[in-house]
Amino acid sequence: MNRGLFALVAVALAAGPAAAQDPPGTRYYFLLFGGQSVPFKPRTAHTWATWVKATPTGAGPVMLEAQTISWLPPDGRVHPWRLRSSVGHNHTLEGTLAIMAGVNSQVSMWGPFEVDANRYHLAVQQAAKLESGAVRFRSFDSLGRSHGVQHCVHAVTFADPAVSRYRQPVIRVGEPGTSNLADKYLRDGAFVGGAATHDWLIPALGLDRHPVIRRVPGEHIPREWR
């Protein structure tokens, strides 16, 4: 077994006990986001994702726990051509939307899609690794050869067994690249029920208060350069 596959199996096995502790009827969801400024500036392009655990309470609404992976420098300002890695920070969903609004970004969303328990718990583990200080940020990372330096796309894809080997160059980030990534998740069987979305989560997460554009996986999204 090669080292990469061994690591993936080890992480998957580690996620198993946590998933087993979730109450019966718990369901899990995934929302993928991409955006960039209008007109387009490379430093504003970003891809991030939120995973949600919905636990039944027995009476009333389900309890929601959300985990976002949004890997950027602490101030949210990206320097695409910087060769040295820098400290990274995992931003919240609301914090990321504020960063995107601050640079006049158009934001697209794919989902919410249902996923399995293992994918949710792998995302929690990936977020913990990012927040531990073990990972640094660089727009030009090692194209997946090293997990110690990651850009925003790999910070998301490393959390999922279906797309963890996806090599995403920095020029493909933003809405167009994220749409291709959503299609890869779909084609690789990451979503329970295929492309069906669970729209009740949108107001539950407060996303109806933001100008987010709904997209379908693989949808062509042209960049606005001027």
In which domain, by residue range, is 207 found? 3-215
Could you report the per-residue pLDDT of 187-213, keeping only the tens digit for each? 999 999 999 999 999 999 999 999 999
Total domains in the chain come to 1
- Assess if residue 224 is contained within a domain: no
- Assess if residue 221 is contained within a domain: no
Could you report the per-residue pLDDT of 42-77, keeping only the tens digit for each? 889 999 999 999 999 887 788 999 999 999 999 998
Whole-number mean pLDDT of the chain?
87
- Assess if residue 220 is contained within a domain: no
- Assess if residue 223 is contained within a domain: no
Could you report the per-residue pLDDT of 144-197, keeping only the tens digit for each? 567 899 999 999 999 998 898 776 555 567 899 999 999 999 999 999 999 999
- Assess if residue 225 is contained within a domain: no
- Assess if residue 46 is contained within a domain: yes
Q: How confident is the model at residue 11 (pLDDT cuts 50, 70, 90)?
A: very low
- Assess if residue 77 is contained within a domain: yes
Q: How confident is the model at residue 6 (pLDDT cuts 50, 70, 90)?
A: very low
DSSP labels, 18-78: HHHTSPTT-EEEEEEEEEEESS--GGG-EEEEEEEEEE--SSSSPEEEEEEE-EE-TTS--
Q: What is the pTM of this model?
A: 0.88
